[in-house]
Amino acid sequence: MYKVAIIGAGVSGLSMANYLEKNNIDYHIYERRTQNDLKGHGFILPKEGIEFLSNIIDINDLYTKGRFLKKYLHYHQNGEILSEKDLEDVFVVSRSTLIEILAEGIPADKISYNTTVTLNGYSEKKACITINDTASLEADVVIASDGSRSRIRRKTFEDEKMKAVLENEVVNIIENEEIASKLDNNFLKFHHEDGGLTFGVLKLSTTKILWYCQFDITRFFINEDYTPDCIKQFILDNFGDWNPLVSSIINDSSYENAHIWRVYELEKLNPFYHENVVFIGDAAHPLIPFTSQGVTSALKDSFMLTNLLMEGNTLSQTFEKYNEERKAEIEIHINNGRALLNQFLLPLNEQQKNTLPISYK
């Protein structure tokens, strides 16, 4: 039986572990963070993402912990409505909730937290990894799901180039029943008329809302200490005079858990495998925010990789097929993401109408 090491317990690593668990393939998952360190943001999931999740989790449990969105409402910064679109089966949930639900499917003895893994090299068809700079292990298969800045990927493809994307985000989840009561289950997005600056709001529950801003890093500057006070100042400076809903949200928010997402992308995708190391999720393909496809793509990677592993071909045949099939689709999302980024940078009157912030194939 293979010894499979999964590196990283985000959505991709945990979904992979759930599939291996269901298919009785032995594995161990290693995660750098502590079990309860689940700060962060939220996910917008299109229908396909929900379908993949229903293979591995109790989907009704998820439905009680997030919301389906009814409409996408697109506003000018002053509150004038520009367009609206019905949304079909688009769901929003906090990252911590989804990670907790996915982790419930993994037996405690198969996951190690506080554990950082590095790749040392290969010997006799095994991948040699080091755990917390002390213990070594030889794995038949390493599934690298260690995120967009993957150490395993950078060690494997030393010449790769990552570049900063022109847009960054601030994401915040706040508890505020009063504001939540004013929001319907819609996705509201406000745009600056000169482009390059947006503010989005979604309701997660009767007491919780998620808001985020997207900004052009060549025109809007945030103090790089990224403390809650710096983030608050940045938000108040740039959105303080927007319509009353936006200003009430930013004034009544706590900034303790506000998250800054500095976005990077690979200049060129690497192969999604090397020898017996295979990459899934952001480790294979960091995606820029506009597509809302990071989670769904991660879920699809683990679904397809598991199916291919179960076909019983050699590892190299399995990985080659996985690489071929997934890469073609990921390239589409990358191109869609870049097109949406270019739209975002334009003044409102030059942007296409009715553009949904979701990338479909």
Ligand X SMILES: Cc1cc2nc3c(=O)[nH]c(=O)nc-3n(C[C@H](O)[C@H](O)[C@H](O)COP(=O)(O)OP(=O)(O)OC[C@H]3O[C@@H](n4cnc5c(N)ncnc54)[C@H](O)[C@@H]3O)c2cc1C
Single out the segment in contact with ligand X by CB under 6 A; choices: 4-12, 232-240, 307-315, 324-332.
Answer: 4-12
Residue 216 binds ligand X, judged by CB under 6 A: no
**Out of 11, 87, 101, 102, which residue is the one contacting ligand X (CB under 6 A)?**
11
Q: Does 295 bind ligand X (CB under 6 A)?
A: yes
Q: With respect to ligand X, which residue has the nearer C-beta, 41 or 326?
A: 41
Q: Which stretch binds ligand X (CB under 6 A): 146-154, 188-196, 270-278, 319-327?
A: 146-154
Stretch that binds ligand X, among 19-27, 213-221, 283-291, 329-337 (CB under 6 A): 283-291
Tokens of 258: 């506000």
Q: Would you give the binding string for ligand X spanning residues 13-42, x where CB under 6 A is met? A: x----------------xxxx-------x-
User: Nearest approach, Cβ of 150 to ligand X (angstroms)?
Assistant: 7
Residue 112 in contact with ligand X, rule: CB under 6 A: no
97 binds ligand X (CB under 6 A): no
* Window 149-168: residues binding ligand X (CB under 6 A): 151
- Residue 68 binds ligand X, judged by CB under 6 A: no
Q: Which one of residues 205, 261, 320, 343 is an interface residue with ligand X (CB under 6 A)?
A: 261
- The contact set with ligand X (CB under 6 A) reads 7-13, 30-33, 41, 43-44, 116-117, 145-147, 151, 169, 171, 259, 261, 281-283, 287, 289, 292-296, 298
